[in-house]
Chain A
Amino acid sequence: MRPMMVLLRLVRFCPGYFAANTFFAILVYFLLAIPLGLTTRAFFDALSGESAGLVAWSAIGLLVAVQLVEVLAGPALGNPWSPLQQKGQVLLQRNLFAGLLRGYGRHGLSEPVGETISRFRDDPESITDTLDALSDLIGRSFFAIGAAIVMWQINPTITAALFVPLLLSSFLTEALGNTIMAYRAASHAATGRVTGFIGELVGAQLAVKIAGATRPAVARLTKLGELRRKAAVRDSVFEETLNSFNLNVVHVGTGIVLLLGARGISEGTFTVGDLALFIVYLDQLTWYPAEVGRLISDLKRIEVSFGRMRAIVPGEPPAALLAPVPVYLRGTPPEPPPPPPRERLERLEVLHLTHAHPGNTRGIIDVSFALERGSFTVITGRIGAGKSTLLHVLLGLLPRDAGEIRWNGRAVDDPASSFVPPRSAYTPQVPRLFSETLRENLLLGRPEDPRALDAAVHAAVLEPDLAALRGGLDTLIGPRGVKLSGGQVQRSAAARMFVRDAELLVFDDLSSALDTETEAELWRRLFARGTETTCLVVSHRPVALRRADQVLLMDTGRLVARGSLDELLASSAEMQRLWRDEQRPPEVTTREP
């Protein structure tokens, strides 16, 4: 999408603020600035005419009045540039977030979270900044034309002469724009090399330390720092040169006015008032070429920023980020939409499911199985066998490259939007909780039903922990609240799953952070649920394997065996090996710090 189109869509999204802001710019830069010059001229002319008196005093009064309006206009109009930019950012950020949620599973997060965050924070800002620049430029354009007319009428020769430095300045800004960009890019690249090297250094700190290589490593950092210094100095000196050139156009222009006005002043054809007016207008005009240049480079930047934002939501149509949805800046946003209707699960079939991740060996190949209502199925296999990947592809958290999923015989086209409560609920291997109260983490927007919540807490064996937390379910967790242990996080996520009362429960290695007793209790309560829930779990625990109606054994991305535990133990060497490992004392699996 062309950058100007991006701007126009944003303008159409907040026309009121844009109109107010543009009016403000026209008021300050044109409606007030032109009279300001004229009044100054009248003041000086009145004084030099020796007839000071009334004219001079009323000129002073007028100057004061005009400037008072100027300083009060911003707050009086509600500083329209601020809501204009902010509302634009709100829309972009909201749509980007919604796009990421919508597309997750089709493309995941293509960038690390830190980088994605910068596209939330920096890119929308650089786009909406330009909205204000656009208003400004409109106001300044009015002024440029008006001022040129006034000046031309006073003295065409001097006015024409003034265009030389102004044009030169705009030409220079335009011509050197690319050089600035190149220097800027070189400076950024140099910075990237420094931070990249620091990252490598810190990440491989142990290697540096055991090789006693601190000195050469710091020497390398120093050298990269020197290169960065040179690039950065070149960048800013060049920019400053251009800036100061623009700034000096006013001085050089004033010099020209003095030079050309000298004879006029001594002859009386060019007054001191005219001189003052030229200087006052030049002050404003100087920036005009730079402003035009800035808008041009801003438009280029929009292209980059908008491209960066779109890159993280590849599946979305180009206009999706600018879709004019309500943003509820006043009043409360409406409650989230109700969940899709419940649909009783009779049979879930997975046929030839395949996911080959590019550049990643952890795929799954041609996996087929079926779940009957009320059955308990365990996926097992060694680390890296593809167990979690299988769950992710099934739930739509990873794209499938081939295969079919059938819910009660009907093909599921978009698993990500289908495998949600009340059809299914899921506990990931490493669940994430959010910095909210525990209650909010369990409900995540569901209407609260105390009985269901209690039942879920019970099923997840979370009551002892709740009893120990001073605020119970209202305890704030996360960085600014209570830090939960790994097992507590896992069981909270399990409660989050249970409270959703879904047809199909999917959980990935639920017991990995639990102590033996809690784990046993959790399984016991799960099995006591009876046959109304269908379960698909990744586990290697004997208690789960023994109870399973069917065990699916994965090895290097393929489903290599299927059946009851006894059948598999009889037929599969891999299963025997896994089973033997599982009989070992538990400390074998504890990690060395």
Chain B
Amino acid sequence: MLPKRDRILLATYLRPEWPRVVLLGLLLFAGIGLQLANPQIVRTFIDQARAGEPFERLVWIALLFIGVALLTQGMTIAETYVAENLGWRTTNALRADLARRVLALDLSFHAEHGVGELIERIDGDVSAIADFFARFVVQVLGSALFLFGVLVLLYREDWRVGGLLTTFTLAALAFLTWGGGFVGVRALAARQASAGLIGYIEERLGGLPDLKTSGADGYAIHRLHERLAGRFHRINAAVMAGSILNAVVGVLFVLGTGAAFGLGTALYGSGAITLGTIYLIFRYTGMLRDPLERLTHEMNSFQQATGGIVRVRELLATDARVNDGSGATFPAGALSVELDGVSFAYETEPVLHGVSFRVEPGKVLGLLGRTGSGKTTISRLLFRLHDPTEGSVRLGGTDIREARLDALPERVGLVTQEVQLFQGTLRDNVALFDRTVSDARLVEVFAELGLDEWLRALPAGLDTPLGAGGRGLSAGEAQLVALTRVLLKDPGLVVLDEASSRLDPHTGRLLERAVTRLLHGRTGVVIAHRLATVERADQILILEEGRVAEFRRRVDLARDPESRFARLLRAGIEEELA
């Protein structure tokens, strides 16, 4: 029914919840038992009434009936409660694992998959699976058990009646299974027509300016009509197919019921069964059709749900291209940085060619070069957002591929050019959801960077909402937030990709001071866009098309009028590197 690896996946998440699984099973059994008991009580009532039993006795039976009905209700509610809890607990665990997986995957994965798609895969697919299994357990398992129970009880009354209805049930089941394909093909065509229509609309909505200015409004509507009509007919055809199948099975059932009644009447006439039993047969046969239809319906929709499972499994199995090392550690304090013959290519596009350099602990390297020269790539390699295609990166003498992935963020602080902010408070954005970081510590960090005044000037301090809908931060201010994120972790190496956009003078000064304080006692690799930042560097490395064009002490380069650096200084760094 379900491939083995999918069953294993589901079992993994169900196992920790086994007490709930057991409880759910018990409730399901008990609920079905009570439903089956109901006609039995009415039967007893009829027979005893006709036998002239005392009135009080009948009243007691009636009260028992009501009691059972109420108990059934309680059981159904309990079943829902347990099933829902079970579903959410297991799938939440799955969602967390998927989120962890997605966060661990590298940039190339994120470049290929949009945010919307990933939301759909972390949440949407899982919810679809949950829905399906909630229904599957209750409907399929429940219906099958119920059917079985009804047939067994009918056998108990009379083997001929039981046999007759079993035959009809099996025939109906065969018809439904066989007709499933007949309906399925049309249902698939209908779904495709619906999806095609939505796809059409989606594309046109994206290209509204193109359509408008091309004078193609009428044409777009004309084509829409074709699609709408197509879907109309396909859906009606699918509904018709389903309804024909239902009618065929329905006819079968009506005939079965008629035969059962006839048989019952004959048996009654011969005195083999009571009137109450005929009522029982009448009720039970009426109860057969519903679960049968549900059963086949759910079996047919099975394929749809497996799509979600397959996608979830794929995502869990997606390998990060960057993987954990054996667990080597980095020395404490400022870290030396060493690139040794490092080359790197995005897919097939080469970006770096044999780049080598070394920065001593506590020194600052200024990384210069035009857009596209590979500066940002170097900063990403230092953080293992990618691994080099050739060569190695060593921090404090340790090859970073030897370390565990979560060890790097502890020792390396990276400030990207565009700082990603969350919709949340400033506190959330600095501590990144870590609730163990106290407000006092956060205020301290801001003060350490000389940002206490900036913080005080915010309307709600640490509670100021940022991101969409909140206070907009300029690129410079966003970098201030990123600097506090870094300082909070006290790393031995700071990689700073300076914002290239123009800063207002005030933010510029704040940023400069904060960077100075952050780099104090730490090694720094700074992708510089401003003269002030460049002047802070002990060494300068100029990249040109992925190659080291110049790498020397800043003062030496500045003194040499022939150097690229000196030329850059003369032309005005800010103009040239913008």
Residues of A in contact with B (beta carbons under 8 Å apart): 40, 43-44, 47-48, 52, 56-57, 60-61, 63-64, 67-68, 70-72, 74-75, 78-79, 82-83, 86-87, 90, 93-94, 97-98, 100-102, 104-105, 109, 113-114, 116-117, 120-121, 194-196, 198-214, 216-222, 225-226, 228-229, 232-233, 236-237, 240-241, 244-245, 247-248, 251-252, 254-256, 258-259, 262-263, 265-266, 272, 275-276, 279, 327-330, 332-337, 339-340, 392, 395-397, 416, 419-421, 424-426, 428, 431-435, 444-445, 478, 493, 496-497, 500, 506, 587-593
Contacts and interface: CB of A to CB of B under 8 A. Distances in A.
Interface in B78-132: 80-81, 84-85, 88-89, 92, 95-96, 99-100, 102-104, 107, 110-111, 115-116, 118-119, 122-123
Contact of A233 (B81, B278, B279): B81
A108 B370 CA distance: 38
Contact of A198 (B99, B209, B261, B433): B99
Given A266-B55, A590-B372, A592-B372, A206 B221 contact: no
Given A258-B58, A327-B225, A330-B229, 10 more contacts: A97-B201, A97-B204, A210-B385, A212-B489, A213-B433, A216-B433, A218-B99, A233-B81, A263-B58, A336-B216
Contacts, number: 402
A496 B351 CA distance: 36
A332 B88 CA distance: 49
A195 B123 contact: yes
Given A74-B246, A328-B229, A335 B222 contact: yes
Nearest to A67: B254
30 contacts: A40-B282, A64-B258, A71-B253, A82-B235, A87-B232, A94-B221, A94-B225, A101-B212, A101-B220, A102-B217, A117-B198, A195-B119, A198-B118, A198-B123, A206-B420, A207-B421, A207-B482, A208-B432, A217-B99, A217-B433, A218-B103, A226-B92, A229-B85, A252-B69, A265-B58, A336-B222, A421-B215, A588-B372, A589-B371, A592-B372
A100 B70 contact: no
A258 to B, nearest CB: 4
Given A229-B85, A419-B213, A202 B201 contact: no
A254 B262 contact: no
Given A71-B246, A113-B205, A212-B409, A266 B110 contact: no
Given A244-B77, A592-B371, A592-B372, A255 B63 contact: yes
B212 A240 contact: no
B206 A248 contact: no
Contact of A101 (B217, B232, B485): B217
Nearest to A203: B115
B119 A198 contact: yes
Interface-centre pick from A210, A237, A245, A426 (highest chain B CB count, 10 A): A210
B209 A104 contact: yes
Interface in B465-485: 467, 482, 485
Contacts of B218: 336-337, 445
B505 interface: no
B533 interface: no
Given A206-B107, A236-B84, A590-B371, A420 B46 contact: no
Contact of A222 (B92, B206, B221, B251): B92
Interface string B260-298: 011001001100000100110010000000000000000
A248 B74 CA distance: 10
A63 B282 CA distance: 12
B250 interface: yes
B213 A426 contact: yes
A252 B424 CA distance: 52
B247 A258 contact: no
Contacts of B413: 210
A202 B112 CA distance: 12
Which 6 pairs show the lowest CB-CB distances between chains A and B?
A445-B219, A212-B409, A71-B250, A336-B218, A251-B69, A432-B207
Contact of B110 (A202, A493, A592): A202
Contacts of A194: 95, 123
Nearest to A85: B235
Contact of B59 (A254, A262, A330, A434): A262
A216 B435 contact: yes
A367 to B, nearest CB: 19
B562 interface: no
B99 A201 contact: yes
Nearest to A71: B250
B125 to A, nearest CB: 12
A291 B339 CA distance: 73
B455 to A, nearest CB: 19
B173 interface: no
Interface residues of B, number: 138
B208 A109 contact: yes
A397 B115 contact: no
Nearest to B428: A220
Contact of B370 (A226, A279, A395, A588): A588
B166 interface: no
A113 to B, nearest CB: 5
A72 B246 CA distance: 9
A43 B578 CA distance: 94
B414 interface: yes
B70 to A, nearest CB: 7
B301 interface: no
B565 interface: no
A433 B206 CA distance: 9
B49 A266 contact: yes
Contacts of A435: 199, 203
A213 B372 contact: no
Contacts of A56: 265
Main secondary structure of the interface of B (DSSP, over half): helix
A47 B374 CA distance: 94
Contacts of A432: 203, 206-207, 209-210
Interface stretch (B20-28, B176-184, B237-245): B237-245
Contacts of A336: 216-219, 221-222
Contacts of A330: 229
B421 to A, nearest CB: 7
Nearest to A73: B247
A63 B261 CA distance: 10
A68 to B, nearest CB: 5
B321 interface: no
Nearest to B54: A266
Contacts of A44: 275, 278-279
B67 to A, nearest CB: 8
A251 B39 CA distance: 10
B447 interface: no
A255 B65 contact: yes
Contact of A210 (B81, B265, B409): B409
Contacts of A587: 370, 372, 545
A211 B485 contact: yes
A237 B66 CA distance: 22
B243 A75 contact: yes
B156 to A, nearest CB: 21
B346 interface: yes
Contact of B62 (A259, A395, A589): A259
Contacts of B208: 100-101, 104, 109
Nearest to B110: A205
A237 B81 contact: yes
Contacts of B226: 332-333
Contacts of A109: 205, 208
B66 A252 contact: yes
A194 B99 CA distance: 11
A225 B92 contact: yes
B214 interface: yes
A210 B410 contact: no
Contact of B205 (A79, A82, A116): A116
A256 B119 CA distance: 52
A333 B225 contact: yes
A309 B368 CA distance: 52
Given A104-B209, A213-B433, A68 B251 contact: yes
